[in-house]
């Protein structure tokens, strides 16, 4: 297999965002017993123009072959290498309301390397509760617990009005990757990455696509 060192490759953010989606697609194809796929079929499944897919893959060398398409097994190996999902990532959940509980209970089953190892809340009624095998800790203990457990990613389900406060605690514990379920932008140092899950925006987009663009 070609060695791919992403540290030397300058890929656009939009491409980076599609890579996990490519991986999922190839994993699904593999599950269905499909060995190879033509770029036009891949384009249909991914709902991406063929030129976008070719451009995305071009950052990692020549992955497909003309008239043959893509070898599913090979693509899985390459994308797993790029995404480096073979190393376990330890995750902290901040905020243990229904959403926090859903995340802890459901986990990230399809990727056994994404592991929620601790959970926090600042509500005394919730601290000490056991959710999916994890005892909810007081937010005051965040820094010491995540350092103990080697956490590198935090997921915040804290509502917008308290999100900045929660993110400040997370950043103070030297965590630089935060998935935030509150859509309002928070202030973080430049080396910290925040990914927002904005359900209202997703819903509005869906309605727009459905109503305005038709079928």
Residue 13 near its own copies by CB under 8 A: yes
Q: Which stretch binds its own copies (CB under 8 A): 70-78, 140-148, 162-170, 179-187?
A: 179-187
Judge contact between 70 and 37, C-beta under 8 A: yes
Residue 122, C-beta contacts closer than 8 angstroms, at least 6 positions apart: 138, 139, 140
CB of 80 to its own copies, least distance (A): 10
Task: Pick the closest to residue 142 from 151, 133, 134 (CA basis).
Answer: 151
d(CA 108, CA 132): 13
* 210 is a contact residue toward its own copies (CB under 8 A): yes
What six digits make up the tokens of 210?
């459905």
In the DSSP assignment, the letter for residue 174 is: T
83: nearest Cα among 158, 167, 170, 20: 20
Does 172 help bind its own copies (rule: CB under 8 A)? no
Residues 35-64, interacting with its own copies (CB under 8 A)? 45, 47
Answer yes or no whether residue 209 interacts with its own copies by CB under 8 A: yes
Please give the residue ranges that form the binding site for its own copies (CB under 8 A). Answer: 6-7, 11, 13, 16-17, 19-21, 23-24, 28, 45, 47, 82-85, 89, 91, 97-99, 101-103, 105-106, 108, 110-111, 114, 153, 155, 176-179, 183-185, 190-191, 193, 195, 197-215
């Amino acid at each position: 297999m070609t060695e791919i060192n992403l540290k030397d490759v300058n890929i656009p953010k939009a491409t980076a965002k599609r890579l996990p989606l490519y991986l999922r697609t190839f994993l699904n194809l593999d599950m269905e017993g499909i060995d190879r796929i033509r770029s036009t079929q891949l384009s249909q499944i991914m709902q991406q123009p063929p030129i976008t897919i070719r451009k995305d893959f071009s950052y990692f060398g020549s992955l497909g072959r003309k008239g043959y398409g893509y070898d599913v097994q090979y693509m899985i190996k390459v994308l797993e290498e790029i995404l480096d999902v073979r190393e376990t990532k330890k995750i902290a959940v901040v905020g243990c309301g229904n959403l926090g509980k859903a995340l802890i209970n459901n986990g990230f089953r399809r990727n056994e390397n994404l592991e929620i190892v601790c959970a926090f809340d600042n509500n005394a009624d919730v601290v000490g509760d056991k959710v999916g095998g994890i005892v909810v800790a007081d937010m005051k203990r965040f820094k010491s617990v995540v350092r103990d457990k080697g956490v590198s990613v935090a997921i915040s389900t804290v509502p917008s009005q308290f999100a900045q406060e929660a993110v400040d605690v997370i950043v103070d514990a030297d965590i630089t990757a935060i998935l935030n379920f509150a859509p309002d932008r928070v202030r973080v140092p430049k080396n910290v990455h925040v990914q927002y899950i904005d359900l209202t925006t997703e819903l509005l987009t869906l309605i727009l696509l459905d109503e305005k663009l038709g079928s």
